[in-house]
Amino acid sequence: MENLPTNILVKIFEQLSNNDLISVCRVSKKFNSVIIDFMAIKFPPVRIDFQYLHFNKVQKFTYKDDKDFNCLMESTRLYQNYIFVNFNKEHTDRLGNKWLQLFKKQINARCIRIKSDCLDLQQLSNLLKLTHRLVFFELDGYRIDKTNEPLDDSDVANLPSLKHLKIHSFLDTTPQLFKIFNDCTSLKTISLSALFMVSKKIKSINDLIFNQKALEVLDLIGLDTHNALFQYDESMHEIKFKLRKLNVEYNGYSLNLEKFVEFLRHQKSLKEVKLALDLRNSMHTLHDSKLCDEIIRILMTMRNLSSLSLLVNKYSVKELDSFNVPSNTCVKKFVFENESGENNNLLLCMLKSLHNLQHLELACEYSNDLLAQLPLMMKLKHLKLTDYYQGLLKTIKCSDSLESISVKYCYTKNSGSDWHEFLQNHTNIKKIHIDHSIDFVDDAICELIAGACQKKLEYFVMTDSVAKNITDIGHLSFQKHCPNIKCLKLTSNNKNTTSQYKHQSFHDLLANIKCVIFFYTFCIIFFILMILLMVNGKI
């Protein structure tokens, strides 16, 4: 154990003896990360949730009973930078505050993630008080223990180094939870998602956001806050932070839309905005629509904004001529998704005003008015279409600057002539990505597409497609017609041929490296030989 490298992935299963467990704990200081899992074996669905957290270099300790827990406590050298706690109410009631003794040795922890199906706020406060160097904190739960006593000022954690705070997935969130972080005023990231508020009084949440001094990223997704979020009494001019990224969802009751409009006016440094405007559940649809119009106008006046993503549902522009949108030359990437199938007037207004657009992603009704707008976008390089249909590719005509095409979710068979005509009209295509579609059903279409792309194609990838009849012949078609291709992935029955040409390119590169090594070796030998001849007086 003493000779293990610092980043090795160590898995310790429940079958380990107590002595082995202690041995591991004694050398655990060598590792960068530790996960402490109090979740019982009888909860397999919760254990699967480990996957989405993307822990790829961690150590995992699982303790099923007090005996194993006591073994851990015997270790005197458990000083780590990373802690992950996963427990349910059964373990919380059984261990009480005993598990907090463990973290008295964890004062140097930089990152903590807690997942609990019944969170005790008092225990959470006690834990955070022990970690003064904490930088990242993530809390993922199901509900908060209703037996909790109200928190007072003594329960506020002193976390001067905390920069990133993420809280999500609580069914009955109480504002008391946010009171713990009242003194954290230097956060750079706040992410709140999937929170259901049991009370309309969420002043502690608004205080947490608006008291920040260096906030750069704000995510507010899937919140049920009774229109109380952004309900802030003080002047917006007193906000000290300047956001760089903003991701907000309005679902009819998640935030105070009027206050949000006022807040947005003062965030002139935004570079990336993702905004969902869902008016299906709005009680004042007409009023909210006017506020959404104002939000769009404000966003279009931002001179630092480079990426804009809009998802709309039951919201659109009624009169195309009466909706004036300021011109914008800063936005390079625009993503638009219309879930309700409303008219494309809003999208058309946006496209006419985004003069330097280079990246466009669409998921909407592909009307003739929309398709007629594409050739006018002279700087468009990348186009992505979602939920496209047979015959659409034939009708798309973009400028010569188009270099990349991505298509997703097509469940009608597109003939090879669709792609052939599209590629004939766009001769500079270097990248093609097909996702969740039933295109390319045989080798003949591979031959047709590869022949149409010729030497310019560099990237061709199919993911989750149902092209079951592609064989080695399909790969050879790309190898024959597209010598500059760098990445090739085709869905095939023969898994060994999925990236055949990519492997071939690697071998060619390896051969070139060998030639270079041989050349320099020859030069060195020749140089040494010349020196020996000079020393012996033969030259």
CATH number for the domain spanning 8: value is 3.40.50
Residues in the chain: 539
- Asked if 26 and 79 sit in the same domain, the reply is yes
Instruction: Output the pLDDT for position 508.
Output: 52
Per the rule left: phi > 0, alpha: psi between -120 and 50, beta: everything else, 230 is left
Instruction: Output the pLDDT for position 169.
Output: 77
- Asked if 409 and 524 sit in the same domain, the reply is no
How confident is the prediction along the chain (539 residues), in pLDDT tens digits per residue?
444 443 333 344 344 454 554 555 555 444 444 444 443 323 332 222 232 223 333 334 444 444 544 444 444 333 344 455 555 555 555 554 555 555 555 455 677 777 766 677 877 887 787 777 788 888 887 667 666 677 888 888 888 889 999 998 777 777 888 888 988 999 999 999 888 876 666 888 888 899 999 999 999 998 887 778 887 766 555 788 999 999 999 988 888 899 999 999 999 999 999 999 999 888 888 899 999 999 999 999 999 999 999 999 989 887 777 788 889 999 999 999 998 877 788 999 999 999 999 999 999 999 999 999 999 999 999 999 998 888 888 899 999 999 999 998 876 666 677 888 899 999 999 999 988 776 555 677 788 888 888 788 999 888 765 566 677 888 888 888 888 888 888 764 444 334 444 444 444 555 566 677 777 788 888 888 888 888 777 66
Between CA 87 and CA 89 the distance in angstroms is 7
SS3 of 196-253: the string is EECCCCCHHHHHHHHCCCCCCEEEEEEEECCCCCCCCCCCHHHCCCCCCEEEEEECCC
- What single-letter DSSP state applies at residue 119? B
- Asked if 67 and 7 sit in the same domain, the reply is yes
Instruction: Output the pLDDT for position 351.
Output: 94
- Asked if 422 and 531 sit in the same domain, the reply is no
Which residues sit opposite 191 in a β-bridge? 166, 219
Which residues sit opposite 407 in a β-bridge? 385, 434
Q: What are phi and psi of 471, to 5 degrees?
A: -120, -165
Assigned domain for 517 exists = yes
Assigned domain for 91 exists = yes
Between CA 308 and CA 104 the distance in angstroms is 45
Q: Which residue, 99, 130, 159, sits at the end of a domain?
A: 159
122 Cβ contact list (under 8 Å, min separation 6): 148, 149, 151, 155
Write the burial class of residue 526 (CB in 10 Å: 0-12 exposed, 13-18 middle, 19+ buried).
Answer: exposed
Instruction: Output the pLDDT for position 189.
Output: 95
Instruction: Output the pLDDT for position 499.
Output: 43
Which is nearest to 36 in space by CA: 70, 73, 63, 4? 63
Q: Which residue, 159, 188, 214, sits at the end of a domain?
A: 159
Assigned domain for 151 exists = yes
- Asked if 74 and 113 sit in the same domain, the reply is yes
Which is nearest to 488 in space by CA: 461, 518, 525? 461
3-state secondary structure of 368: helix
Between CA 539 and CA 531 the distance in angstroms is 9
- Asked if 5 and 154 sit in the same domain, the reply is yes
Which is nearest to 269 in space by CA: 298, 242, 247? 242
CB count within 10 Å of CB 352 equals 14
Assigned domain for 261 exists = no
Between CA 178 and CA 180 the distance in angstroms is 5
465 Cβ contact list (under 8 Å, min separation 6): 434, 435, 436, 437, 438, 439, 440, 491
- Asked if 461 and 513 sit in the same domain, the reply is no
Assigned domain for 243 exists = no
- Asked if 403 and 527 sit in the same domain, the reply is no
Instruction: Output the pLDDT for position 50.
Output: 30
Instruction: Output the pLDDT for position 117.
Output: 65
- Asked if 396 and 537 sit in the same domain, the reply is no
Number of domains in the chain: 3
- Asked if 392 and 525 sit in the same domain, the reply is no
- Asked if 432 and 513 sit in the same domain, the reply is no
Q: Which tokens is 414 given?
A: 């597109």
3-state secondary structure of 410: strand
Write the burial class of residue 125 (CB in 10 Å: 0-12 exposed, 13-18 middle, 19+ buried).
Answer: middle
- Asked if 517 and 388 sit in the same domain, the reply is no
Instruction: Output the pLDDT for position 491.
Output: 64
3-state secondary structure of 395: helix
SS3 of 324-356: the string is CCCCECCCCEEEEEECCCCCCHHHHHHHHHECC
Q: Domain of 104? A: 1-159
* Residue 475 CA, distance from chain mean position: 32
Instruction: Output the pLDDT for position 48.
Output: 26
Please, are residues 201 and 176 in contact by the beta-carbon 8 Å criterion?
A: no
CATH number for the domain spanning 449: value is 3.80.10.10
